[in-house]
Amino acid sequence: MKKNLLGTSGIRTSEIGFGCMSLPTDVKKASLIVDEAIAQGINYFDTADLYDKGVNEEIVGSVLTHHRKEIVLATKVGNEWNNHTGEVKWNPTKSYLKKQIHTSLKRLQTDYIDVYQLHGGMITDDVEETIEAFEELKKEGLIRAYGISSIRPNVINQFLEKSDIASIMMQYSLLDRRPEELLDSIGQVGTSVVTRGTLAKGLLTGEGLQRAGKMDGYLSYNATELKDTLENLLAVHDNLHALALHSILQHDTISSVVVGASSADQIKATINAYETSVSPEQISQAKTLTRQDIYQEHRK
């Protein structure tokens, strides 16, 4: 599988990444899925301390410990929860980030994280303090690179201007093309985008029409528009899964498309789609059939 540089970090990520949130909590079952992902050439694994309140990191640590040198491990931080009440509060402070990384390292059974990401962000945050924390963690050898997971243009722009982030994780698919207004400016400063939600809750897979029939629309598409759009896309390419992946990967700013899987068969389906040919003309046609919305909020 092709690997791309993640920003200016020197880290190379597989074009298909694995979203670990979908892993089962049974370690044996999770291990079979991860082993299949690695066998298929996937090296980028993304989790977060918030997923199942740390349990997902523990599972990831258990199943990846023997593959640590082969993979790029990414996790996220910034959501602090109360173990007694379950309440979650946003905490991007330097003291919290520098404390919480040790908890994640323990759960992940590793002594460093390849990509440490801020799991959100608000315009009112003290960005300089957050950046200082990440930079110190780099100097201490606890992380190799850092990034943010955000779809807020004002937050993204602050980090692009003030930091050396390697990556931005954004929801991006043929049915959610809002990131496109930012892709060129992100790439111009040497930062990469890692995508999530590229299969749009399974709408952009072989089960798309079936799933659409059970949904009352998706984002700005109402139920009828969604069904019509999927049918039109199928007329462009009979493999929606392949069309969805390649339409996103065609932009140079995209380093990896992170896709979840709860079974080895789902990974094989994604790899099959990735290896299916999609022409530039088909991608262009697909984009004429879908909306290029922009972010309406968090712009200033």
User: Which residues are part of the catalytic machinery?
Assistant: 51
DSSP state of 284: H
What's the token pair of residue 181? 């207004």
What are the helix (H) ranges across 163-296? 180-188, 208-212, 223-236, 240-249, 264-274, 280-288
Number of helices and strands in the chain (H, E): 11, 12
What's the token pair of residue 155? 């937050």
User: In terms of C-beta density within 10 A (0-12 exposed, 13-18 middle, 19 or more buried), how is residue 25 classed?
Assistant: exposed
DSSP state of 263: S
DSSP string, 107-150: HHT-S-EEEEEE----TTS-HHHHHHHHHHHHHTTSEEEEEEE-
Between CA 291 and CA 152 the distance in angstroms is 19
User: In terms of C-beta density within 10 A (0-12 exposed, 13-18 middle, 19 or more buried), how is residue 149 classed?
Assistant: buried
